[in-house]
């Protein structure tokens, strides 16, 4: 990890309207994430974890405040520019893996290249595939894989674009404890390699086994 | 991206096939109608040419129906007198005037179309006729000439005898017409006097076939002919126009049904695409998350729709080409004024029109599903599937 700040929020607020009532989803969030950091956003249901993740990844706009990514306030950017940033610099991992059932493992992994106009770096891709122990599974369909393997394919898909930040939303929610541990182990290793990881989870027990920076949310505030 | 489209279509094989088939049937109907319309007109023109006369004089009544029956065979309940023929012959601009007596013999298992003709004048009209054997003389009341289809169907050769039970008379086949490609192939030709005798209509005829010396004087001839009482003139152009008009009216109805069929199949495509978008909203959300922009989503869905439509259109065209015999039989079965053989000519203009039409349908059918897809909020669709 170095000291380069790649993601920063200043006085970030998000208010939803429920009828005429204002609901503070996030309140005055000040956050700084450095390159190579392994950050987990923790908190109970409704604490604002997902709202924060949506704002950090540019999928939602704050009511007020700034989100600085690569020295730009992304809350001011148009969707077209945001899409470019996401496709170049951000990888995503989800709870349900979200693999295309009709594509092979390899096709799923290289899917981002169909859209982000980057040239496929086969050497890098195979290096990632090997690192995630998926070499023997490349021609299989997702339905032929275990949950842990499917999530490793999703991680590979996020990694192939060589992102600056990887956002993971409850990545172990559908896995047993052994596979969940393995996935966090992979995250830890990626962090050591210089990848920045922001992981939303409510799995305190698992987090406690790793050297992770914890951001605890409660009622939309960092505590 | 293409692999994504193809694999998605293959993922729901039955639905994809049914959609393609629905489009194919609609295109098949449209392509058949357009192609056969053209073929029908060409065949009818050719057939009227084969008649060899410029106009027909028929009894007053429904002249076009009468003219059409003379071309295709049938019964006309009104008659002209033989004296009318003599008057027509005296018009200087008339080159040939030939009497025709047309009748049907309906027996247990067959309907025979009998053409009573004056062989000398009729041969001048049908210069292209070739006969195996010989023609009868006008006074040979027990000799018959038959069309090639009759000879084939009844297995008759020159010298054989034909028996008509209804009139209890046997005729000897003295000649068989070589294939003409027209309705003549299906007629029995007898001397005029003999047919008048059979049907007890002496000195009466059904029509007079008229050929003029100079086509530019057709109007003048018609004017003179119409001065003859009880006689009405129908030119071949009018017959063609009337039959095409009759067909046109039927076509309008069929066309409306086909347009409806196409509209319904378009709804089928829209439905398929909408279901596809709904089922894949998570995937579309994910594609946006991993870098697909709206334009990529539009391309993806539009190409999927286009592939469905193009495959459907191609299948429809193949069905039309391979099934043209069946369509011809079907059309001849439902249209009474149908030519003996309807030409089927593949027309690139029609095929191009169909393709352009299909393309328009593809665009229209993909608009709404695309609109729905690009307005999906990726994280929400992904999240909703996680919960």
Which of B8, B293, B378 comes nearest A59 by C-beta?
A: B378
On the question of pLDDT at A205 being above 50, the answer is: yes
pLDDT digits (tens, 9 = 90+) for B196-219: 999 888 889 988 988 888 777 778
Q: Indicate the helix (H) or strand (E) that contains A15.
A: strand A5-18
On the question of pLDDT at B385 being above 60, the answer is: no
- Residue B94 shares a structural domain with residue B190: yes
CB contact under 8 A, B11 and A102: yes
CB contact under 8 A, A59 and B286: no
Nearest CA in chain B to A57: B289
- Report the CATH number that the domain containing residue A47 is assigned in CATH: 3.40.50.300
- For residue A94, CA distances in Å to A50, A111, A132, B163 come to 11, 16, 17, 89
Contact A53, A198 (CB under 8 A): yes
- Residue B88 shares a structural domain with residue B218: yes
Q: Which residues contact B57 (CB under 8 A, 6 or more apart)?
A: B80, B84, B88, B97, B207, B208, B210, B225, B228, B231, B232, B233
Which range among A190-194, B61-65, B350-354 has the greatest average pLDDT?
A: A190-194
- Residue B71 shares a structural domain with residue B216: yes
- Residue B217 shares a structural domain with residue B124: yes
Whether A96 is in a domain gets the answer: yes
CB contact under 8 A, B293 and A115: yes
Whether B103 is in a domain gets the answer: yes
Tell me the average pLDDT across A152-180: 90
Tell me the average pLDDT across B112-131: 88
Nearest CA-CA distance, residue A179 and chain B, Å? 18
Give a three-class secondary structure readout of B229-256: CCEEEEEHHHHHHHHHHHHHHHHHHHHH
Residues in chain A within 8 Å Cβ distance of B289? 59, 86, 92
- Residue B305 shares a structural domain with residue B330: yes
Whether B52 is in a domain gets the answer: no
Whether B321 is in a domain gets the answer: yes
Nearest-angstrom CA–CA distance, B55 and B234: 6
B162-190: buried (b, 16+ CB within 10 Å) or exposed (e) per residue? Answer: bebeeeeeebebbbbbeebebbbbbbbbb
DSSP state of B179: P
Q: What ipTM goes with this model? A: 0.84
- Residue B203 shares a structural domain with residue B304: no
Tell me the average pLDDT across A172-198: 90
Nearest-angstrom CA–CA distance, B238 and B220: 16
CB contact under 8 A, A98 and B382: yes
Nearest CA-CA distance, residue A34 and chain B, Å? 23
Nearest-angstrom CA–CA distance, A145 and A158: 18
On the question of pLDDT at B342 being above 70, the answer is: no
Whether B235 is in a domain gets the answer: no
Nearest CA in chain A to B376: A59
Whether B201 is in a domain gets the answer: yes
Nearest-angstrom CA–CA distance, B27 and B309: 10
- Supply the mean pLDDT for chain A: 89
Residues in chain A within 8 Å Cβ distance of B10? 102
How distant is the alpha carbon of residue A180 from its chain centre?
A: 15
Nearest CA-CA distance, residue B290 and chain A, Å? 6
For residue B324, give the nearest of B22, B19, B35, B88 by alpha carbon. B35
pTM across the whole model: 0.64
Domain span at B14? 1-47+243-384
For residue A91, give the nearest of A181, A176, A170, A160 by alpha carbon. A160
Domain span at A195? 34-61+77-217
CA angle A69, A71, A74 (to 5 degrees): 45
How many Cβ atoms sit within 10 Å of the Cβ of residue A127?
Answer: 12
* pLDDT for B217: 79
How many residues can be counted in chain A? 223
Whether A26 is in a domain gets the answer: no
On the question of pLDDT at A64 being above 90, the answer is: yes
Nearest CA-CA distance, residue A165 and chain B, Å? 13
B interface with A, Cβ–Cβ below 8 Å: 1, 3-4, 7-8, 10-11, 282-283, 286-293, 296, 377-379, 382-383, 385-386
Q: Which residues contact B175 (CB under 8 A, 6 or more apart)?
A: B131, B132, B133, B134, B135, B136, B145, B146, B158
Contact B22, B270 (CB under 8 A): no
Whether B53 is in a domain gets the answer: no
Whether A25 is in a domain gets the answer: no
Whether B322 is in a domain gets the answer: yes
Residues in chain A within 8 Å Cβ distance of B300? none
Tell me the average pLDDT across B351-371: 80
CB contact under 8 A, B290 and A87: yes
CB contact under 8 A, A50 and B383: yes
Contact B288, B297 (CB under 8 A): yes
Residues in chain A within 8 Å Cβ distance of B4? 100, 103, 111, 114
Domain-terminating residue out of B189, B204, B229: B229
Whether A72 is in a domain gets the answer: no
- Residue B159 shares a structural domain with residue B307: no
- Residue B276 shares a structural domain with residue B345: yes
Whether B299 is in a domain gets the answer: yes
Which of A60, A80, A111 comes nearest B293 by C-beta?
A: A80
- Residue B253 shares a structural domain with residue B298: yes
Residue B279 confidence class, pLDDT cut points 50, 70, 90: confident
Q: Count of domains in chain A?
A: 1
Q: Count of domains in chain B?
A: 2
């Amino acid at each position: 990890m170095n000291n380069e700040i790649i993601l920063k929020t200043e006085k970030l607020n998000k208010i939803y309207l429920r009828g005429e009532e204002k609901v503070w989803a996030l309140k005055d969030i000040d956050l700084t994430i450095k390159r190579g950091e392994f950050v987990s956003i923790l908190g109970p249901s409704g604490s604002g974890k997902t709202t924060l993740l949506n704002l950090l990844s540019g999928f939602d706009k704050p009511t007020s405040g700034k989100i600085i990514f690569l020295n730009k306030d992304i809350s001011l950017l148009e969707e077209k520019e945001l899409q470019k940033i996401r496709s170049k610099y951000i990888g995503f991992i989800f709870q349900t893996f979200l693999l295309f059932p009709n594509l092979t493992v390899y096709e799923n992994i290289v899917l981002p290249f169909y859209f982000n106009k980057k040239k496929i770096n086969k050497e890098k891709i195979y290096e990632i595939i090997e690192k995630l122990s998926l070499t023997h599974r490349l021609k299989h369909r997702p339905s032929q894989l275990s949950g842990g393997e499917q999530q490793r394919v999703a991680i590979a898909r996020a990694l192939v674009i060589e992102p600056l930040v990887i956002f993971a939303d409850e990545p172990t929610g559908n896995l047993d404890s052994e596979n969940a541990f393995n996935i966090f182990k992979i995250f830890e290793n990626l962090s050591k390699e210089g990848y920045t990881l922001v992981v939303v989870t409510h799995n305190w027990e698992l987090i406690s086994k790793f050297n992770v920076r914890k951001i605890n949310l409660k009622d939309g505030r960092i505590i | 991206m293409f692999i994504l489209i193809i694999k998605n279509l293959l993922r729901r094989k039955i639905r994809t096939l049914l959609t393609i088939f629905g489009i194919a049937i609609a295109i098949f109907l449209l392509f058949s109608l357009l192609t056969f319309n053209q073929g029908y007109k060409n065949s009818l023109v050719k057939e009227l040419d084969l008649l060899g006369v410029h106009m027909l004089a028929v009894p007053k009544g429904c002249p076009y129906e009468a003219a059409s029956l003379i071309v295709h065979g049938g019964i006309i309940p009104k008659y002209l007198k033989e004296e009318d023929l003599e008057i027509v012959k005296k018009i200087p601009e008339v080159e040939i005037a030939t009497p025709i007596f047309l009748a049907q013999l309906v027996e247990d298992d067959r309907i025979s179309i009998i053409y009573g003709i004056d062989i000398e004048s009729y041969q001048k009209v049908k210069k292209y006729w070739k006969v195996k054997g010989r023609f009868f003389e006008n006074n040979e009341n027990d000799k018959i000439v038959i069309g090639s289809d009759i000879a084939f169907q009844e297995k008759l050769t020159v010298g054989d005898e034909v028996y008509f039970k209804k009139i209890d008379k046997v005729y000897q086949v003295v000649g068989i017409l070589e294939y003409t490609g027209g309705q003549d192939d299906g007629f029995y030709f007898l001397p005029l006097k003999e047919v008048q005798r059979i049907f007890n209509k002496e000195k009466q005829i059904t029509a007079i076939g008229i050929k003029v010396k100079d086509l530019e004087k057709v109007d003048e001839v018609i004017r003179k002919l119409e001065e003859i009482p009880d006689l009405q003139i129908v030119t071949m152009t009018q017959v063609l126009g009337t039959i095409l008009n009759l067909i046109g009216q039927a076509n309008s109805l069929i066309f409306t049904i086909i347009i409806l069929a196409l509209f319904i199949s378009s709804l089928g495509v829209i439905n398929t695409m909408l279901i596809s978008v709904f089922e894949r909203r998570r995937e579309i959300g994910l594609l946006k998350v991993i870098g697909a922009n709206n334009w990529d989503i539009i391309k993806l869905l539009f190409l999927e729709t286009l592939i469905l439509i193009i495959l459907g259109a191609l299948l429809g065209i193949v069905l039309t080409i391979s099934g043209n015999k069946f369509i011809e039989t079907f059309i001849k079965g439902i249209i009474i004024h149908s030519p003996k053989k309807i030409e089927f000519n593949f027309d690139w203009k029609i095929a191009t029109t169909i393709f352009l039409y299909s393309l328009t349908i593809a665009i229209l059918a993909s608009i709404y599903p695309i609109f729905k897809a690009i307005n999906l909020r990726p994280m929400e669709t992904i999240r909703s599937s996680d919960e």
